[in-house]
Chain A
């Protein structure tokens, strides 16, 4: 790991607060800064050691480790929030320092929904979230920095075997449910059971249950992907949404003059451009679809909702601005701002979607 030092923290604070390095240095509480940097270093070392222990003998090490970077950055932010080394604006300094820590170690954070990131940092500041919670949240949003020469050869490095992010992102739904029972993870997706509501659970949010239409759209998107012999992608998620007659997402798009049929046609066109795979897909979701899961949760948190509805899925899709699905929506007259406005209006009119009931469906 490449460690930040006090001088680096001075430069970061001077820049983010717009006061310059001289002023930042003169105001800096050096012991507080030193203590925060030491805590971050120790947290990173501990996480890296844990990852090394879990690595299979003979496998190629891939430092700096994703989990170690996330743990160190989250701990650094927490320490800087708990004992700010500069008066005022501690959250900005902490966020900038954490992000810079990640950058110098070749990682970038994909914070698609800034409001959700702000809530996480504020939760860390208030003590509602622990550094471990924040690290889990952050780890799932890290990707190798393409501009970093240190990471240029590691972009193809698979996630470590026991990485929480790997368990979350690569496991099919039933497997996640099974693992949740045997080893609770920080982020688990469930299609529900008689005594286990369907939804997404994280340490930070607790269970975020799916609404009925959201759960139906998840199941339908999986069926559409299977029908086409493809891993679930954005187009299948859109097809799943298009099949929910009375959902907030469909009603919001109808407000923009877009019919369910038009949505379905666009999504089918995109699906038809992808070739079915000869073998069953290795992973249930494409990387883009896996990222949508996180964006969906972020959207729900950002809206202050305690559930996940179809509107969050629709907004989650928008994190891939250049994706054909998002471009197709735009070509129909649904740009991001318009969609957000329509969803706000629809929610004001119809209220939240009905809660999900156990459907008795075992998705594979």
Chain B
């Protein structure tokens, strides 16, 4: 979907998004209609996706159960980190 490029500067990170032409066209159209930049729209979309996943109760419960169940393994991996 995307390929990172450029450098971090301050609070943002430059990225190049590689999209299929149809999706890129739709993204450009949305940006134009809303009077915003393509990168604004893309950033918002990614953040919204992350937020949706974060609020997904089942996903969160599975993750918390997993982390609790395998806490010792994760501790070992952290302790062994070079």
Interface residues of A (CB under 8 A from B): 5-8, 10-12, 14-16, 21, 25-26, 29-31, 34, 88-89, 91-92, 95-96, 99-100, 103-104, 108-109, 111, 114-115, 117-118, 121-122, 147
Instruction: Check A8/B73 contact, CB under 8 A, given A15-B67, A89-B78.
Output: no
With A114-B72, A114-B76, A121-B77 in contact, is A10–B53 under 8 Å at CB? Answer: yes
For A31, list chain B residues within 8 Å (CB). 2-4
B80 at the interface (CB under 8 A from A): yes
The chain B residue with its CB closest to the CB of A12 is: B63
Query: Which residue in A29, A92, A147 is a CB contact (below 8 Å) of B77?
Result: A92
Closest A residue to B47 by beta carbon equals A25
The minimal Cβ–Cβ distance linking A69 to chain B, given in whole angstroms, is 14
Find chain B residues with CB under 8 A from A103 CB.
62-63, 65-66
- Minimum CB distance partner of B52 in chain A: A7
Closest to A149 in B: B58
A114→B73 contact, CB < 8 A: yes
Kindly state the separation between the CA atoms of A14 and B74 in the bound complex, as whole angstroms.
14
- The residue in A8, A34, A111 that gathers the most chain B C-beta atoms within 10 A of its C-beta is A8
Q: How large is the interface on B (under 10, 10 to 19, 20 to 34, 35 or more residues)?
A: 20 to 34
Chain A residue numbers with a CB within 8 Å of B59 are 8, 11, 100, 104
Contact residue among A8, A10, A89, A100 (Cβ-Cβ distance under 8 Å from B66): A100
Complex alpha-carbon distance, A34 and B3, angstroms: 9
Distance in angstroms from B18 CB to nearest chain A CB is: 9
**4 tightest A-B CB contacts, nearest first:** A7-B49, A114-B73, A114-B72, A103-B62
Among the listed A8, A25, A30, which residue makes an inter-chain contact with B4, where contact means beta carbons less than 8 Å apart? A30
CB A265 to nearest CB in B, in angstroms, measures 34
| Contact A11 B81, beta carbon cutoff 8 Å | no
Nearest to B2 among chain A residues (CB) is A30
Interface residue from A7, A88, A117, A118 paired with B53 (Cβ < 8 Å): A7
Q: Closest approach, in angstroms, between the C-beta of B61 and any C-beta of chain A?
A: 8
Pick 27 A–B contacts, CB within 8 A, sort by A: A5-B49, A6-B49, A7-B49, A7-B50, A8-B53, A8-B59, A25-B46, A25-B47, A25-B50, A26-B11, A29-B4, A30-B46, A88-B81, A91-B80, A92-B77, A92-B78, A92-B81, A95-B73, A95-B74, A96-B74, A103-B65, A108-B69, A114-B70, A114-B73, A115-B76, A118-B76, A122-B77
Task: Give B40 Cβ to nearest chain A Cβ, in Å.
Answer: 15
**Whose C-beta in chain A lies nearest to the C-beta of B55?**
A11
For the complex formed, measure the closest distance between the CB of A297 and the CB atoms of chain B, giving whole angstroms. 17
Q: A8 to chain B: which residues have CB within 8 Å?
A: 53, 59
**Once the chains bind, are B73 and A118 in contact (CB under 8 Å)?**
yes
**What separation, in Å, do the CA atoms of A26 and B43 have in the docked complex?**
11
Contact A92 B74 (CB under 8 A): yes
**How far in angstroms is the closest Cβ of chain B from A98?**
10
Which residue of B1, B66, B81 contacts A34 across the interface (Cβ within 8 Å)? B1
Query: Is there an interface contact between A10 and B62, defined as CB atoms closer than 8 Å?
Result: no
B36 adjacent to chain A (CB < 8 Å)? no
Q: What is the CA–CA distance of A187 and B42 in the complex, to the nearest angstrom? A: 47
Instruction: For residue B1, give the distance in angstroms from its CB to the closest CB of chain A.
Output: 5
Measured between alpha carbons, how far is A185 from B77 in the docked complex, in Å?
A: 29
Query: For chain B residues 14-52, which have a beta carbon within 8 Å of chain A?
Result: 15, 46-47, 49-52
A118 to B80, CA, bound (A): 9
Instruction: Tell me if B54 and A11 are in contact (CB < 8 A).
Output: yes
